Amino acid sequence: MHGALQINPYYGKTSAKGIKYHLDAAMEYGPAVIYNVSSRTAQDISPEIVEHLAKNPNFAGMKECSGHDRIKHYADQGILCWSGNDDECHDSKWKYGGHGVISVTSNVLPGVMRRLMDTQDDALNAKVLPFMNWLFAEPNPIGLNTVSAMTGAAQPVFRAPYMPYDLDKREEVIELLSGFKDWEIQGERRPIAMDDGDFKVLADWARGVCKVKEDYDGKRKF
C-alpha cells in the first residue's frame, strides 16, 4: 500500500505520551495520515502531539475533525491538513488553509466534491449541504450504505449492527438529490426508495455471505 490512515487508540484511552508512542510506532511501517476524530475515539489528538508527530519522516498530514481553527493552526505551520467534516470542508479549504477533504459525500457525488475543492463556489456548497446533513443523520456509514444501495452502486446488504435508514429517510434523499444531474450521482440509476424487504442485514457474516450470494447470483456479482 502507498500509505495508511491511522487513528489513536479508542476505548483503551491513554496519555499524550501513549498516543505519541502508538502513532510513531504505526508510522514505522510507512507513510500515514493521522486521523483525529474524537467523536468516535473519545480522545483528542492535540496540536502538541501533532507537532511532535510531524517530525516523523513518514508523517503525511492530518485528517482533522475538530473544525476550522485547528485546520488553520496546522496550515499556518505548513502541515497538510484534510478536513474530515464534509459540511465544513469547503470553508476549511478556501478560508482556513485546508488542503482538501477526505470525504463521505464523494462516494455519491464525486464530481461535485471535486469542484468544491478545485473552485470556491459558495452556491454549490449550499446546494450540497442538505444532502451532507442527510448522510450524517445517523452515524456513518449508515446513510452512505443506504443511498449507495438506492442508486445501485452497492448491494442492499448491511452487516449488523448497522441498519438501513427507514423509508421516510429514503424518500427524503430522493428529493435532496433531485437537483443533481444523472451523471453527477454515482451508481446505476437515480435513487429509488426501495422496500424495507429489499435490504438484508447479516447477523452471522459467514452464513450470510452464502445466502446473499445465492440470492444475487445472476443479478449482480457479489
pLDDT confidence of residue 219: 54
| 204 within a domain of the structure (yes/no) | yes
CATH code for position 38: 3.20.20.70
Task: Please state the pTM of the whole predicted model.
Answer: 0.86
Last residue of a domain, one of 102, 118, 147: 102
How do beta strands 4-7 and 32-36 pair? parallel
Q: Let me know if 184 is exposed, middle or buried by CB neighbors in 10 A (0-12, 13-18, 19+).
A: middle
The closest alpha carbon to 150, from 130, 135, 160, 138, belongs to: 135
Structural contact between residues 41 and 7, judged by C-beta atoms closer than 8 angstroms:
yes
Single-letter amino acid, residue 60: A
**In which band, very low, low, confident or very high, does the pLDDT at 215 lie, cut at 50, 70 and 90?**
low
Reported as a single tens digit per residue, the pLDDT across 84-94 is 999 999 999 99
**In which band, very low, low, confident or very high, does the pLDDT at 205 lie, cut at 50, 70 and 90?**
low
Is 63 marked active-site?
yes
| 116 within a domain of the structure (yes/no) | no
How do beta strands 32-36 and 157-159 pair? unpaired
| 110 within a domain of the structure (yes/no) | no
How many domains in the chain? 2
| 117 within a domain of the structure (yes/no) | no
Reported as a single tens digit per residue, the pLDDT across 139-156 is 999 999 999 999 999 999
Identified catalytic residue from 11, 13, 29, 35: 35
Q: Which residue has the cell 477533504?
A: 101
Q: Let me know if 74 is exposed, middle or buried by CB neighbors in 10 A (0-12, 13-18, 19+).
A: buried
Domain around 71:
1-102
Cell triple for residue 94? 478556501
Is 35 marked active-site?
yes
> In sequence order, what are the residues at sequence separation of 6 or more whose Cβ sits closer than 8 angstroms to the Cβ of residue 108?
131, 135, 144, 147, 148, 151, 153, 177, 185, 186, 187
pLDDT confidence of residue 192: 97
Q: What is the rounded distance in angstroms from the CA atom of residue 68 to the CA atom of residue 73?
A: 9
Single-letter amino acid, residue 102: I
Reported as a single tens digit per residue, the pLDDT across 177-186 is 999 999 999 9
Residues 71 and 141 in one domain: no
Most confident of 9-13, 98-102, 213-217: 98-102
| 162 within a domain of the structure (yes/no) | yes
Residues 13 and 77 in one domain: yes
Identified catalytic residue from 11, 17, 29, 63: 63
pLDDT confidence of residue 206: 57
Q: Let me know if 3 is exposed, middle or buried by CB neighbors in 10 A (0-12, 13-18, 19+).
A: middle
Residues 142 and 216 in one domain: yes
**In which band, very low, low, confident or very high, does the pLDDT at 138 lie, cut at 50, 70 and 90?**
very high
pLDDT confidence of residue 128: 98
pLDDT confidence of residue 203: 85
